[in-house]
Amino acid sequence: MLVPVLALLLITQPAAVAQAAERVVIEHGHVDLGPRFVDGRWTVQLRDDTGGAPQWRDLSDVVLHVPDAARTTVPDDQAYAFLGDRGSAVWVLPQVEQNGVVWPGWNTQDPEVAKAVDREVTWRLHGVRGPGRFALFLTGNFGAPQQIFTSTTPAPQETGVEVGTHVHGNWVFGAPGTYLLDIEMSTRTKDRRELTDRQALRIHVGNTDPRAAFDVPAAQPEQPKAQPAGFPWQWAGLGGLVLVVTVVVVVLRRRRGER
Amino acid sequence: MQVRAFSRAIGAVLVVLLAGCGAADGGASDGVAVVTTTEILADLVRNVGGERVRVDSLVPPGGDPHSYEPVPADAKKVAKADVTFTNHLLLEEQRLIKAIDANIRPGTPNASLAEASETYGAHVIPLVENIGLDVLWLGLRVRGDGKEKGATRTSDIRLTATAVEGPGALVAYLTETLGKPVVYFNSQDGLSDTDATTLPPAAHTHINWAFTKPGVYKLTLAASLIRGEGVAPTPLGTSTFTFAVGVNPAGVAKTVLADGHTDLTIDLDSGELYTLNDIPGGGKQNVVAAADAVIEVPNKAIVTVPDDPRFSFLGQAGGTVHQLPQAVLGKHVHGEIDPHLWQNVRNARAYVELIRDTIRGADPSGAEIYDRNARAYLDRLDELDAHVRETVARIPRERRQLITTHDGFGYFAAAYEMTVAGFVVPNPAQEPSVEDVRKLSETVRNLKVPAVFMEPNLAQRASVLNQVAKDQSVDVCVLYGDSFDDRVQSYVDMMRHNADEVHRCLV
């Protein structure tokens, strides 16, 4: 620990050091969710490009603010029924950069991550706490929406993010207030380590005080932050348990395959 | 969904676990009984096991593992097996995997080779779900702060299309969040001041790039800095970008931009316009000058114009355009892999090592023999890999285009530097749609390939490919994918044939 702190002191202003743990509300500009190795530990963070140099922040230090300027209505088109009733209000952070609102994406481009990860990162949504509906989707060819997460679908939901990629989507909220997205990013490394981290992302919707969102506590993480590498399966008669789990899993996979 | 990744981890563990502890009761006088799903796997096992093993493939010679349905005799074979090998859930018919899982004796090693071989160095590629998204992701970007030119955070950068040369029209447009298209540039009715867009400093955006006819296009973009209202715009620079639409990009310019992420970039500091490219797998970006780059818009990017008046600027509903899409997420199936690993000989090498260790676990007294056999066979595979590589390398690069009956040659293409230009359907169990057939015809025509490739076990299903080949007057050649026939009876012969055949038919 000593070395990085020392290095930081040598090369940066004291103000910048304080800033590293500062709580910030981000209202416009580009940010990305993504995994990083922080002191060697796989951690979901937020890359903040809204200042001068990019800065990675802990999710607990950030609120993304969606102002009322982002408010629009659900179109009269069956393809968008998953956003709510036609004509009802929704607050949207678009896939494409729009002046005046924050532009959140997600990336797996951190050099250390890109080097370590085998193929892809699994991004899981364990749940959403908030006053309204939440959806994350992509607008593709000819406007067909491709849903990634919706709060109306049972949790957990998951999607894959290929290593070394950077993606943007449409973030939609159905009512003003504070939302906590319970998200997890996990992966398997090229040297067969299973890594995972689970964090809460805070978003505040509407023209009320976004800092209030910091006071909403995250749900207790349901699993440890990092699993030990190389779990000793061959120990302790776990074989039987593995078999049972496998049978269940195999049945589930077959059922999926038969659809 | 969560269950799936977990099952994979457990599955891999299970293979090792069982292989480690399960000295089977077979392996004595009449040899180790091994059952595999396909004859390719059976051949690999024979080369490792030699006389000590009896190998049965459930899919009969010439059968298609994607569609073979097991018969009662298969259940008996599985029940007597000391070891079983399958490839991967996505290759074999569900019922085939079930026949093994349901009839295998408890404790018998049952290795699923495709994924378990990753620990032996197999190179696995993800399964492509939507080939139309497996293309370059092309955006627009503003880079640098432009302080020397008087730019501030509130400045605007105006980007205008001043010329489009090419056989058809170029349309660049954005589809907004809720489905409404906004056109940036459209050469359909000529170009004017309205074929322009305004970007903020540090902008980065992704739009759709559509082309109405195949051929080479040249798009000239001019950028200027607008510092405020009433201030005359400061010209920044002009560059011409080249696109190879549906035609071979090789030779059009020095650097072909075919996959990953590229932005046509305005550099506020230098005033230049160039391509900025993400290097796959790393955090780095590199610049390629507009004059040195050609952007590939392959035939797999052909889409049908929808019957929706909002998109009529692209042409008639039901017509086709080549289009690089604004979003490419979803090109791969999350967590799934392409099962045809053995089309890369180095992957077959990993299979062989895994087979060796699995059989050795079931019959430890034969360990020395298995080691010796495997060593000799691995040497042959190294020679084979070199032969395939050298043979394909003798085909001029721009001719290395594979058009096949099903999507079974991704590994071959990736390992030996070919391009999968198209196929009739992803999986042979699917029926091609009218759109699939049209796309295939356009691909053959646009690329002027001399031949397309049929798999002998799919001969009955090759009517579409044969018809397209006949219409376009190109040859139909033979590539072995998932099984053998009476002419090719071993993995080594199969790969040797495939290499020689692509050379013979494409040179």
Give the tens place of pLDDT for each residue, B163-191.
Answer: 999 999 999 999 998 888 999 999 999 99
Domain annotation covers residue A198:
yes
Cβ contact B308–A142 (<8 Å): yes
Final residue before a domain boundary, out of B317, B352, B385: B385
The Cα–Cα gap between B490 and B43 comes to 6
Question: Domain check: are B274 and B162 in the same one?
Answer: yes
CB contacts < 8 A, A to B, total 159
Question: Domain check: are B184 and B311 in the same one?
Answer: yes
| Alpha-carbon Rg for chain B in angstroms | 27
Which residues of chain B neighbour A156 with C-beta distances below 8 Å? 1-2
The kind and range of the H/E element at B414 are helix B410-416
* Distant-in-sequence, close-in-space partners of A225: CB < 8 Å, separation ≥ 6: A41, A43, A196, A197, A198
Tokens standing for B102? 């349901």
What confidence score (pLDDT) does residue A219 get? 72
What confidence score (pLDDT) does residue B254 get? 94
Residue B56 CB neighbours (<10 A): 18
Domain hosting residue B54, numbered range:
2-126+337-385
pLDDT over 90, % of chain B: 70
C-alpha angle A175/A181/A182, rounded to 5°?
Answer: 150
Among residues A123, A231, A230, the alpha carbon closest in space to that of A187 is found at A123
Question: Domain check: are B42 and B137 in the same one?
Answer: no
Which CATH number belongs to the domain containing residue B30 in this structure? 3.40.50.1980
Domain hosting residue A141, numbered range:
24-228
Window 309-328 of B, Cβ < 8 Å to A: 310-311, 323, 325-327
Q: Tally the domains of chain A.
A: 1
Q: Choosing among A66, A138, A141, which should be mutated to test the B contact, i.e. which has the most B CBs within 10 A?
A: A141
Find the mean pLDDT for residues B252-259: 93
Highest-confidence segment of B121-135, B243-257, B268-282: B243-257
Q: Tally the domains of chain B.
A: 3
* Distant-in-sequence, close-in-space partners of B346: CB < 8 Å, separation ≥ 6: B121, B122, B123, B385, B415
Neighbour-count burial of A229, counting CB atoms closer than 10 A to its CB (0-12 exposed, 13-18 middle, 19+ buried) = exposed
The Cα–Cα gap between B73 and B5 comes to 33
Question: Domain check: are B89 and B100 in the same one?
Answer: yes
DSSP state letters, B419-436: EEEEEEESSTTSPPPHHH
Q: Is B95 on the interface with A (CB under 8 A)?
A: no
Question: Domain check: are B113 and B180 in the same one?
Answer: no
State how far residue A132 is from chain B, nearest Cα, in angstroms.
19
Please provide the average confidence, as pLDDT, over all residues in chain B. 89
What confidence score (pLDDT) does residue B129 get? 77
Question: Domain check: are B381 and B395 in the same one?
Answer: no
Q: Is B174 on the interface with A (CB under 8 A)?
A: yes
Instruction: List the beta bridge partners of residue A50.
Output: none
State how far residue B505 is from chain A, nearest Cα, in angstroms.
34
Domain annotation covers residue A41:
yes
What confidence score (pLDDT) does residue A243 get? 40
ipTM metric: 0.78
The answer, yes or no, to whether residue B480 has pLDDT greater than 90, is: yes
Q: Which residue of A has its CA nearest to B305?
A: A142
DSSP state letters, A12-68: S-HHHHHHHT--EEE-SEEEEEEEEEETTEEEEEEEE-SSSS-EEEEGGGEEEEE-G
Question: Domain check: are B89 and B137 in the same one?
Answer: no
Task: Say which amino acid occupies B127.
Answer: L
Domain annotation covers residue A252:
no
Give the tens place of pLDDT for each residue, B447-457.
Answer: 999 999 999 88
Give the tens place of pLDDT for each residue, B198-232.
Answer: 998 888 889 999 999 999 999 999 999 998 888 88
What confidence score (pLDDT) does residue B52 get? 96
Question: Domain check: are B27 and B102 in the same one?
Answer: yes
Domain annotation covers residue A15:
no
What confidence score (pLDDT) does residue B152 get? 85
Question: Domain check: are B195 and B299 in the same one?
Answer: yes
Task: Say which amino acid occupies A247.
Answer: V
State how far residue B501 is from chain A, nearest Cα, in angstroms.
32
Residue B126 is classified by DSSP as E
What confidence tier does B94 reach under pLDDT thresholds 50, 70, 90? confident
Give the tens place of pLDDT for each residue, B69-79.
Answer: 899 999 999 99
Which residues of chain B neighbour A167 with C-beta distances below 8 Å? 327, 329
Which residues of chain B neighbour A163 with C-beta distances below 8 Å? 281
Which residues of chain B neighbour A109 with C-beta distances below 8 Å? 278, 283
Cβ contact B283–A160 (<8 Å): no
Q: Could you tell me the strand order of the sheet in which B32-36 lies?
A: B53-57, B32-36, B83-86, B110-112
Tokens standing for B350? 């990993």
Neighbour-count burial of A51, counting CB atoms closer than 10 A to its CB (0-12 exposed, 13-18 middle, 19+ buried) = exposed
Domain annotation covers residue A117:
yes
Question: Domain check: are B173 and B311 in the same one?
Answer: yes
Of B89, B205, B283, the CB nearest to A111: B283
The Cα–Cα gap between A245 and A258 comes to 20
Q: Which residue of B has its CA nearest to A250?
A: B7
The Cα–Cα gap between B40 and B60 comes to 11
Q: Pairing mode, if any, of strands B255-257 and B293-297? A: parallel
Q: Choosing among B101, B147, B177, B435, which should be mutated to test the A contact, i.e. which has the most A CBs within 10 A?
A: B177
Question: Domain check: are B172 and B148 in the same one?
Answer: yes
Final residue before a domain boundary, out of B308, B330, B352: B330
Which residues of chain B neighbour A148 with C-beta distances below 8 Å? 329
Cβ contact A249–B10 (<8 Å): yes
DSSP state letters, B221-272: EEEEEE-STTSPPEEEEEEEEEEEESS--BTTBSEEE-SSEEEEEEETTT--
Q: What is the largest distance, in Å, between two alpha-carbon atoms of chain B?
A: 96
Higher pLDDT, B487 or B130: B487
Which residues of chain A neighbour B332 with C-beta distances below 8 Å? 120, 160, 162
* Distant-in-sequence, close-in-space partners of B420: CB < 8 Å, separation ≥ 6: B402, B404, B407, B409, B410, B413
Question: Domain check: are B196 and B247 in the same one?
Answer: yes
pLDDT in tens, chain A (259 residues): 333 333 333 333 333 333 456 899 999 989 999 999 999 999 999 999 888 788 999 999 999 999 999 999 999 999 999 999 999 999 999 998 888 899 999 999 898 998 999 889 999 999 999 999 999 999 887 878 999 999 999 989 999 998 888 889 999 999 999 999 999 999 999 888 999 999 999 999 999 999 999 998 887 553 444 443 333 333 444 444 444 444 444 334 444 433 3
